[in-house]
Amino acid sequence: MTRRVVVIEGEDAAPEAMRPTLELVEQLGLDLEWQRPPVGAAAEQSHGSTFPDEARAAIDASDATLFGSTSGPSARALFYLRWGRGTYANVRPARWFPGCRSPLAEPHALDFVIVRENLEDLYVGVEGDLDELAGSNLWSRTAGRPISELGPGRFALKIISEAGTERVTRFAFELARRRKAEGGRGKVTSGTKHNMLSHSDGLFRQVAGRVAEDYPDIEYENFIVDDFAHRMIARPGELDVVVLPNLYGDILSDAAAALIGGLGLAPSGCYGNDYAYFESAHGTAPDIAGRDIINPTATILAAVMLLRYLEFNDAAESLEQAVTRVYAAGKALTPDQGGSASTREFCAAVAKRL
């Protein structure tokens, strides 16, 4: 059965990583069809909208999406992929392999996955002026004053729901179980700021602890998120699967990418109950756009995650192996990894090893 994948190239340097990635996947000869609906600035020109109905229909009719990063014009498509399709678990692996320029002296044991809750927390997009809260009875517990006395300012709402937390923590435990079956540590770590945010993060912690009881075969630990950040940098080898509320997950997964050697290496997959999309963890790298030097590894490894999701497991394995062999050889690396190869030269080296 032909699998349909929507491709959204994104902006700035993102297409420079996406295009050669698609060529590499094409080289694998899979029963896979790319769909390229109009999205972003070009769609605005041709259809009068950055995310026309036809693009939404293409996503709905597809098995998954491969997304290049966006600096804004493709954001409506991204919001639909996330909130419209309910992709609640953002999986961001941090795995070092030889040749990656890690700042750690001993990066060998670095192989963990951050599962970031993808839909809630401060990302529900409810912000406003403090004036709007003036008539409410809201009270600052820490300042010991009503909100109305805090003066002019703004607020953002942090939402942690029971159901949203349960599904993402369950996802993390299931992932830990699958990793354990393949030799993983069989551990889930969560990080919350429950000492300050006893209601919201406290609930996340409470639900995660309850879900943990259903997985006696998986070790579970929780840390205050600042302590977790320190542990992640100081002893990353002790981690396996990490589950975090949205904002902490967003920030700490970029820090995790730095541990393995930089944003250019870190892929990401966002999974819902019936849909998933894949992208690099980095942004559009506008400062290096047009120079053919963006490291496409994150995008290629996102494609590897896509292929696994579509159950093209052997192909995924081949592509991943080809990438790791290029790093092991160390001859065709991009500037962010200390090399002088262009994006295209790196991809040609991967293609040769496929």
Residues in contact with ligand ATP by the rule CB under 6 A: 69, 71, 263-264, 282-288, 294-295, 298, 336
Residue 56's nearest CA partner among 40, 23, 80, 31 is: 80
Work out how close the CB of 262 gets to ligand ATP at its nearest, in angstroms, rounded to a whole number.
7
Work out how close the CB of 335 gets to ligand ATP at its nearest, in angstroms, rounded to a whole number.
7
CB under 8 Å to 42, separation ≥6 — which residues? none
Phi, psi (rounded to 5 degrees) for 305: -65, -40
Return d(Cα 340, Cα 32) in angstroms, integer: 33
Work out how close the CB of 139 gets to ligand ATP at its nearest, in angstroms, rounded to a whole number.
35
Residues comprising the chain, all counted: 354
Distances (CA, A) of 222 to 197, 198, 208: 15, 14, 9
User: Which H/E stretch holds residue 20?
Assistant: helix 14-27
Sign of CA dihedral 273, 276, 281, 284: negative
In terms of CB distance, is 237 or 283 closer to ligand ATP? 283
Structure tokens at 119: 């839909």
In terms of CB distance, is 190 or 268 closer to ligand ATP? 268
Q: Closest residue to ligand ATP, Cβ-based?
A: 283
In terms of CB distance, is 188 or 288 closer to ligand ATP? 288
In terms of CB distance, is 116 or 282 closer to ligand ATP? 282
In terms of CB distance, is 190 or 299 closer to ligand ATP? 299
Work out how close the CB of 309 gets to ligand ATP at its nearest, in angstroms, rounded to a whole number.
22
In terms of CB distance, is 294 or 323 closer to ligand ATP? 294
Work out how close the CB of 266 gets to ligand ATP at its nearest, in angstroms, rounded to a whole number.
9
In terms of CB distance, is 21 or 165 closer to ligand ATP? 21
> Which residues sit opposite 146 in a β-bridge?
139
Sign of CA dihedral 236, 162, 207, 226: positive
| Cα distance between the two ends of the chain | 24
Residue 244's nearest CA partner among 259, 234, 231, 229 is: 229
Work out how close the CB of 146 gets to ligand ATP at its nearest, in angstroms, rounded to a whole number.
36
Work out how close the CB of 102 gets to ligand ATP at its nearest, in angstroms, rounded to a whole number.
15
